[in-house]
Amino acid sequence: MRPWAVVAGKEVKEQLRSRKALFTLLIIPLLTWIGMGLMHAFIFGSMSSTGPLATPLDIHLAVEDQGPYGLLAEQVVYAVASNMNALVHEVSYQEGLKLAEEGSTVLFIWVPPNFTYCLNRTGLARLGIWVDQTSARASAIAHAVVSIINSMVAEKKVDAVQKPIRKMPITLVMLSLMIMMSAMWGPMPTITSSFAGERERKTLEVLLATPVRRRSILVGKLLAAGFSAAIYMSSSVLGLAIYNGLVSWATAGMVGFESPALTLEQAAVVIAAAVLTVILSASVGIVISCFARSVRDAETYYSAIFMLPLMLVSGTAFMRFEELPLVLRAIVMAIPFSHGVLMVNNALIYGAPPGALFFSAAYMLAWSIGALLVGAKLFEREEIVETRRRGRRRWLRR
Amino acid sequence: MGLAVGLYDVSKHFGPVVAVDHLTIEIEEGEVFGLLGPNGAGKTTTVRMICGLLRPTSGRVVVLGHEMPREALEARRHIGLLPQESDVYEALTGRENLEYFGRLYGLEGEELARRVEEVLRLVGLEERADDRAGEYSGGMKRRLMVARAIVHDPELVILDEPTMGLDVFAVRRIRRLVRRLAEGGRTVLLTTNDLEDAERTCDRVAIIDRGRLIAIGTIRELEERFQEKGLEELFIRLIEGGEGEGP
């Protein structure tokens, strides 16, 4: 056998015997693409009019101009809506206005009575558009309607007077990102180095041989993880405050610009959501750490396990939850990490009742306690000491 | 003299692998007992069962009058363990390492400080006690681990391959320490591959192979019984020849 083949053979054999390599090479790419595929399939599938995941969006239209341009505008709205799987409900101006004020629609388009007249007389007319900025599809439809009408009226120009039904606070993206990062990176260094690190350093056996209950060791390590998470959270909150200050200063005096500063109540919800996410992440981290033989192994498993939920949670963060198809909503609701983001969205945008916030908090807490109980059970196993594999993978030994 | 450790017909299986096979050994209080055997003989598994870290598949393990692993928490107060493969907390100083384990064994205040000083002196690390353990040499780390095993003044000290990979000076120091522990009335269970370790320090030895007891007694008794001079020759003959007096 040639030397390069000998070297290659040994390398491949090592890789096949490494659980970590298996995760990195096989599971992570699979999870990444499955997560991405699920997200895109559901998001774009929900916008299609005929696909299996089609989720119609209700929008409202009031046409008060029966002139040619009024009828043109109406046809454009129907065409765009049909293309983006939206159902157009024709209403009167008063009805539409009421729906918009109540927040019961994501898009209300009003073609005023003088639309054709203004275009013919002055070459300029206006459409009234009330749009929920948290709905990507509603915003896209509004934008497309104005663009297409403008492209069809030749030398004339149509303006849209846009009024937000709900605003998308500029901090939302940052906050959601912070919540997700808290889940991923907050307590990770401490948790992964807790048991896996002790095992890697060969100090776990001597620690377990002390007259200390394993439960006490577990609680001690969890508290230490909480400490590092608290530092992480403090620095995140401070960073966010600086961010808020900078944006407020830079945008001071801008007309129609929502202040990015959080109220005390909103800040409390954000911090509570982040703390719960960190607790949950720490609890799941302990379960992972019970299986991993080294810190690097633990980090790999941690990344792999968080990959899919994070893909889905990111969808929750950046698009209107109600617009996701029912199946995806159910999946997202089942994933405990989603609830941190949902708490923030509900508090900052939708003004959901406190019950919804408490449900999310309780759900995350229940998962944390469940994961801790599983971790405690796993920590009692004797395999936690016996790190060598015995009698396994004989098929790879030849 | 009472019994420090009693293993009665103990077996331990890991799936299809039999690590310990019907092992019966009694270790008297105050003796230095050597558990000898080639690599993979089942020494570490036996030690782990004695500490209550592993549950025997069958048989009884009694340590200082406590049934293991049922009464492991109580028994462990009186056991000091130096595992075969171990390390220290490198970010902590030598003293902090010892204080941490002292506290886990219930020592506090002046008693803790006194014991830490004592063991540091005993292993010759008093001058480097406040340096980070990560800066220690391999020999110093091993000495610190020995100190860690005895910081709570245990009745039974289990040293699993304590001299592995150490230079001649460190080996001599640890051998001397083992004898001093025995002189102080402590029971020492020494598992080793190093037959010189056993010859120089052990009152009695047991030779095991593939989890089975091959021979047990003082070195002189074994030499007479098997008509062989020197522990090394005896060991090789028993292991390679498959002779012995096992069950």
Give the tokens for residue B220: 């002189």
Asked if A211 lies within 8 A of B74 by C-beta distance, the reply is yes
Reduced to 3 states (helix: H, G, I; strand: E, B; else coil), residue B31 is coil
Q: Is pLDDT at A393 greater than 50 in this prediction?
A: no
What is the nearest CA distance from B157 to chain A, expressed in angstroms?
12
Give the sheet arrangement for strand A86-90, strand by strand: A86-90, A57-63, A107-111, A124-132, A157-166
User: Does residue A391 sit at the B interface (CB-CB below 8 Å)?
Assistant: yes
Domains of chain A by residue range: 18-44+170-397, 57-166
Asked if A211 lies within 8 A of B86 by C-beta distance, the reply is no
What is the spatial distance between Cα B151 and Cα B129, in angstroms, rounded to a whole number? Answer: 14
Looking from the CA of B143 toward its CB, the CA atoms found within 13 Å total 29
Give the confidence band of B13 by pLDDT, cuts at 50, 70, 90.
Answer: very high
What is the spatial distance between Cα A29 and Cα A44, in angstroms, rounded to a whole number? Answer: 22
Give the tokens for residue A265: 């109540």
CATH number corresponding to A57-166 = 3.40.1710.10
Give the confidence band of A170 by pLDDT, cuts at 50, 70, 90.
Answer: low
pLDDT given for residue A176 in this prediction = 66
User: Does residue B89 sit at the A interface (CB-CB below 8 Å)?
Assistant: yes
Asked if B17 lies within 8 A of A385 by C-beta distance, the reply is no
Find the CB nearest A209 among B55, B76, B87: B76
Q: Is pLDDT at A7 greater than 70 in this prediction?
A: yes
pLDDT given for residue A343 in this prediction = 85
Helix (H) or strand (E) holding B24: strand B17-28
Between A188 and A66, the more confident residue is A66
State mean pLDDT over A308-333: 71
User: Does residue A205 sit at the B interface (CB-CB below 8 Å)?
Assistant: yes
CA B33 centroid distance within chain: 9
Asked if B89 lies within 8 A of A203 by C-beta distance, the reply is yes
Give the confidence band of A370 by pLDDT, cuts at 50, 70, 90.
Answer: very high
Q: What single-letter amino acid sits at B195?
A: L
Pairing of strands B79-82, B156-160: parallel
Pairing of strands B79-82, B204-209: unpaired
State mean pLDDT over A62-80: 93
Asked if A203 lies within 8 A of B79 by C-beta distance, the reply is no
Give the confidence band of A398 by pLDDT, cuts at 50, 70, 90.
Answer: very low
Find the CB nearest B105 among A205, A210, A391: A210
Q: Is pLDDT at B246 greater than 60 in this prediction?
A: no
Between A83 and B244, the more confident residue is A83
Asked if A203 lies within 8 A of B87 by C-beta distance, the reply is yes
Q: Which residues of A touch B105 (CB under 8 A)?
A: 210-211
DSSP A50: S
| Token pair 């997560």 in the structure block, residue | A35
State mean pLDDT over B154-167: 88
User: Does residue B86 sit at the A interface (CB-CB below 8 Å)?
Assistant: yes
Q: Is pLDDT at A60 greater than 90 in this prediction?
A: yes
Q: Which residues of A touch B81 (CB under 8 A)?
A: 205-206, 209
pLDDT given for residue A315 in this prediction = 62
User: Does residue A201 sit at the B interface (CB-CB below 8 Å)?
Assistant: yes
Give the confidence band of A396 by pLDDT, cuts at 50, 70, 90.
Answer: very low
Q: Which residues of A touch B16 (CB under 8 A)?
A: 391
Find the CB nearest A206 among B15, B16, B81: B81
pLDDT given for residue B111 in this prediction = 94
Q: Mean pLDDT of all residues in chain B?
A: 89
pLDDT given for residue A392 in this prediction = 45
pLDDT given for residue B240 in this prediction = 78
Find the CB nearest B53 among A213, A382, A391: A382
Please answer whether residues B58 and B9 qualify as being in contact, where contact means their C-beta atoms are separated by less than 8 angstroms. Answer: yes
DSSP A321: G
Please answer whether residues A350 and A132 qualify as being in contact, where contact means their C-beta atoms are separated by less than 8 angstroms. Answer: no
What is the nearest CA distance from B204 to chain A, expressed in angstroms?
25
pLDDT given for residue A97 in this prediction = 92
Q: Is pLDDT at A221 greater than 70 in this prediction?
A: yes
Between A332 and B146, the more confident residue is B146
Range name among A133-137, B4-8, B103-107 with the lowest pLDDT average = A133-137
What is the nearest CA distance from A197 to chain B, expressed in angstroms?
10
Q: Is pLDDT at A314 greater than 80 in this prediction?
A: no
pLDDT given for residue A360 in this prediction = 92
User: Does residue A394 sit at the B interface (CB-CB below 8 Å)?
Assistant: no
Percent of residues in chain B assigned helix, strand, coil, to nearest 5: 40, 25, 30
What is the nearest CA distance from B152 to chain A, expressed in angstroms?
10
What is the nearest CA distance from B89 to chain A, expressed in angstroms?
8
State mean pLDDT over A336-355: 81
Q: Is pLDDT at A178 greater than 80 in this prediction?
A: no
What is the nearest CA distance from A277 to chain B, expressed in angstroms?
29
The string of DSSP codes covering A128-177 is EEEEETT-HHHHHHHHHHHHHHHHHSTT-EEEEEEEEEE---THHHHHHH
Please answer whether residues A57 and A23 qualify as being in contact, where contact means their C-beta atoms are separated by less than 8 angstroms. Answer: no
Please provide residue A206's backbone torsions phi and psi, each rounded to the nearest 5 degrees: -70, -30
Pick from A317, A316, A329, A227: nearest CA to A279: A227
Range name among A313-322, A378-387, B197-206, B225-234 with the lowest pLDDT average = A313-322
Between B58 and A21, the more confident residue is B58
Give the tokens for residue A280: 């949950």
Q: Which residues of B touch A382 (CB under 8 A)?
A: 53-55
Q: What is the pLDDT of residues A256-302, one digit of tens each?
A: 555 556 677 877 888 888 888 888 888 888 888 777 777 777 777 77
Alpha carbon distances (Å) from A255 to A177, A245, A259, B146: 27, 18, 10, 72
Q: Which residues of A touch B87 (CB under 8 A)?
A: 201-203
Between A102 and A306, the more confident residue is A102
pLDDT given for residue A241 in this prediction = 73
Q: What single-letter amino acid sits at A221?
A: K
State mean pLDDT over A70-76: 93
Q: Is the peptide bond before B69 cis (omega within 30 degrees of 0)?
A: yes
User: Does residue B15 sit at the A interface (CB-CB below 8 Å)?
Assistant: yes
pLDDT given for residue A91 in this prediction = 94
pLDDT given for residue A45 in this prediction = 73
Please answer whether residues A73 and A84 qualify as being in contact, where contact means their C-beta atoms are separated by less than 8 angstroms. Answer: no
Q: What is the count of residue pairs from A and B with beta carbons less than 8 Å apart?
A: 64
- Residues 43-82 of chain B with CB under 8 A from chain A are 48, 51-55, 73-74, 76-77, 79, 81-82
Q: What is the pLDDT of residues A225-254, one digit of tens each?
A: 777 777 777 777 777 677 667 766 776 666
Residue of A nearest to B50 (CA): A209
pLDDT given for residue B36 in this prediction = 92
Q: Which residues of B touch A209 (CB under 8 A)?
A: 51-53, 76, 79, 81, 83
Between A129 and A56, the more confident residue is A129
Please provide residue A327's backbone torsions phi and psi, each rounded to the nearest 5 degrees: -60, -45
Q: Report the percent of chain A where pLDDT is more than 70.
A: 79
Q: Is pLDDT at A38 greater than 70 in this prediction?
A: yes
Pick from B94, B68, B84: nearest CA to B4: B68
Residue of A nearest to B160 (CA): A206
